[in-house]
């Protein structure tokens, strides 16, 4: 395995499962030091253990990205342990489909607090480090996880889709703000991927739709997303692939 990411310091939110976990393993296997952020400590420790078995370096940071003190403390912990981060995979998220007329407002709030405000908190907490790393001449990446729902239309996904459209549009604007500082900004818009995400869905219509889709579509695997992130961050420094839509071949 090449060590093409040796010297890089990667922060990954949502690293305890799914896309974040797979990406942490992929980046670490190419030589990056990885800071693993999520709320479930035991799951993070398992990921860290796997990385260390493979000879990589990992730092476990239990953090709730809906809490600014938590994201600020995480940024300090990364800086103390590894120096300034030069790669943030801003990926933690939650999907709760529901009917607009009856969905509990708390479910809208949880998605907005995490997918929208949480993503922005992470960016604000780590931006000084990304800027410092860029000023040192290092390659610097901010990658935000949005979703195909930011573009395509799905019934009963209005609140989730809107939160992800926010992430996509935020990313496009940030690229203009941060590109001149030599910080690349990319947004990932995946289609259905086999992770724990679908396990949180309680709305029956969406559960039925997902179960039906699983009969005819080979969903993406978290490793497919990890390989895409690895590709993005391995491009030459002057190349910013700004938006990636990645779909299961059979998903419309
Ligand atoms: P998972 O449910 O497997 O991962 C979600 C991650 O977010 C977990 O590691 C979870 O860890 C973390 N998380 C949740 N709440 C918080 C919080 N408050 N603070 C910190 N971390 C938190 O799903 P995916 O891997 O699929 O999701 C990753 C991203 O991909 C999400 O943004 C999702 O919206 C997006 N996405 C997913 C698709 C799919 O089909 N799976 C398709 C398109 C986009 P913990 O519980 O330990 O805190």
pTM of the model: 0.98
Q: Token pair of 199, please?
A: 């396990």
pLDDT given for residue 2 in this prediction: 84
Active site residues: 160
Whose alpha carbon is nearest atom 39 of ligand 1? Answer: 193
Q: Token pair of 117, please?
A: 């405000």
Q: Token pair of 109, please?
A: 């709030």
Dist. CA 137 → ligand 1 center (Å): 31
* Residue 8: pLDDT over 80: yes
CA dist 38 and 136 (Å) reads: 29
Q: Among the atoms of ligand 1, which is closest to the Cα of residue 222?
A: 25
**Test site for ligand 1: of 40, 90, 93, most ligand atoms within 8 A of the Cβ:** 93
Dist. CA 91 → ligand 1 center (Å): 7
For 36-40, 116-120, 151-155, 238-242, which range has the lowest pLDDT when averaged over its residues? 151-155
How big is the chain by its Cα radius of gyration, in Å?
A: 17
Whose alpha carbon is nearest atom 21 of ligand 1? Answer: 38
User: Average pLDDT of the chain?
Assistant: 97
> Can you tell me the mean pLDDT for 86-101?
98
- What is the complex's ipTM, to 2 decimals? 0.99
pLDDT given for residue 162 in this prediction: 98
| 137 conformational bin, left if phi > 0, alpha if psi -120 to 50, beta if neither | left
* Residue 240: pLDDT over 80: yes
* Domain 9-246, second-level architecture: 3-Layer(aba) Sandwich (3.40)
Q: Among the atoms of ligand 1, which is closest to the Cα of residue 194?
A: 41
Q: Token pair of 81, please?
A: 């342990």
Q: Is the CB of residue 147 below 6 angstroms from any atom belonging to ligand 1?
A: yes
Instruction: Return the ∠ at Cα 8 (arms to 20 and 123), rounded to 5°.
Output: 55
Q: Whose CA is closest to 58, among 21, 18, 3?
A: 21
Whose alpha carbon is nearest atom 31 of ligand 1? Answer: 93
Q: Three-state DSSP class for 209? A: helix
CA dist 165 and 6 (Å) reads: 33
Half-sphere exposure in the Cβ direction for 14 (13 Å, CA): 26
Task: Give the residue carrying structure tokens 């009917």.
Answer: 99
**Test site for ligand 1: of 195, 221, 228, 244, most ligand atoms within 8 A of the Cβ:** 195
Q: Three-state DSSP class for 38? A: strand
Q: Token pair of 47, please?
A: 């990921």
Dist. CA 95 → ligand 1 center (Å): 8
CA dist 47 and 172 (Å) reads: 31
Residue 225 near residue 25, CB atoms below 8 Å: no
**Tens of pLDDT along 9-56?**
999 999 999 999 999 999 999 999 999 999 999 999 999 999 999 999
Task: Give the residue carrying structure tokens 């960016």.
Answer: 123
Half-sphere exposure in the Cβ direction for 236 (13 Å, CA): 2
Domain-wise residue ranges, the chain: 9-246
Q: Is the CB of residue 17 below 6 angstroms from any atom belonging to ligand 1?
A: yes
């Amino acid at each position: 395995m090449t060590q093409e990411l040796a010297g890089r310091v990667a922060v990954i939110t949502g690293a305890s499962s799914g896309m974040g976990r797979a990406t942490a393993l992929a980046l670490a296997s190419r030589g990056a030091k990885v800071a693993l952020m999520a709320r479930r400590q035991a799951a993070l420790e398992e990921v860290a253990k796997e990385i260390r078995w493979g000879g990589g370096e990992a730092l476990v940071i239990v953090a709730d990205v809906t809490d600014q003190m938590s994201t600020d403390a995480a940024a300090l912990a990364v800086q103390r342990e590894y120096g300034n981060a030069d790669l943030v995979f801003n990926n933690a998220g939650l999907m709760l489909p529901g009917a607009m007329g009856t969905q509990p407002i708390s479910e809208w709030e949880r998605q907005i607090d995490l997918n929208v405000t949480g993503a922005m908190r992470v960016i604000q907490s780590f931006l000084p480090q990304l800027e410092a790393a860029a000023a040192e001449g290092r390659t610097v990446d901010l990658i935000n996880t949005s979703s195909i729902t930011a573009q395509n239309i799905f019934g009963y996904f209005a609140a989730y889709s809107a939160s992800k459209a926010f992430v996509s549009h935020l990313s496009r604007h940030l690229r203009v703000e941060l590109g001149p500082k030599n910080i690349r900004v990319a947004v990932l818009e995946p289609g259905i991927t086999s992770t724990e995400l679908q396990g949180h869905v309680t709305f029956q219509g969406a559960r039925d739709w997902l179960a039906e889709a699983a009969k005819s579509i080979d969903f993406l695997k978290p490793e497919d997303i990890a390989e895409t992130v690895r590709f993005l961050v391995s491009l030459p420094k002057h190349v910013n692939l700004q938006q990636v839509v990645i779909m299961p071949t059979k998903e419309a």
